[in-house]
Amino acid sequence: MKPLVVKCGGSVAGEAAALVRPFLQAGNPVVVVHGAGPQISAEMERRGLAVEFVRGRRVTSPEALAVVRESIAAVNAGLCRAIGPKAVGLMGDEIGLQATRVEELGEVGDPTPSAPPAVLDALAAGLIPVVAPIAAGPLNVNADEAASALAIGLEAERILFLTDVPGLLLAGAVVSRIAADDAAELLDAGTLQGGIQPKLHAALTAARQGVPAEIGRTAVVA
């Protein structure tokens, strides 16, 4: 069976085990990719580091990168405990996740599609890879984009973005379905704000590469 890729944000990581459980009970091989946005921002503020985003992606200095790695490692460990003994925590830079550096954002990269052997081995053993989104370098990569790159590389059955919002909101209502071309127009128009930008971009990228994508209750279709 092709795997299901589930991306959970840092704000819902504590609930992720319950959200993922139905897919596990159905027998789906599952890869979990998580963020740690709230945890990273809180720790950066505690250390007096500036918190800045450009089009929903975090500007990452060398000092901030250390916070990023510490925070995602902590979320990864907690998520693995919550999921249970079949969960295998994997740090992206240790398993060969690759990314192209984005100079204007600092220590940040655009992840490239891949199927890391450590992920394939875990799936083959009936385990649940829980992947922390950091690429070789190390480079900070957006968790939505990392999940999309893995889904494409693994030729996943589909990718689900679990988040604290119900889906893509337009005029105050959840959009149940959006075509890839329409999603691209929305992104190009620059009217979307915050974390939905990289999330929609990641879903759009996956859909155009043949992986059905859902953001909450919103399906993004090619």
**Residue 7 a catalytic site member:** yes
**Residue 194 a catalytic site member:** no
Residue tagged active-site, from 56, 78, 93, 199: 199
**Residue 121 a catalytic site member:** no
Closest CA to 9 of 166, 144, 108, 198: 144
Question: What letter represents residue 73's amino acid?
Answer: A
Residue tagged active-site, from 9, 10, 89, 195: 10
Residue tagged active-site, from 56, 78, 93, 144: 144
**Distances from the Cα of 55 to the Cαs of 11, 195, 206, in angstroms?**
19, 8, 19
Residue tagged active-site, from 35, 37, 89, 216: 37
d(CA 134, CA 151): 16
CA 126 to chain centre: 22
2, HSE (Cβ side, Cα atoms, 13 Å): 14
Catalytic residues: 7, 10, 37, 144, 199
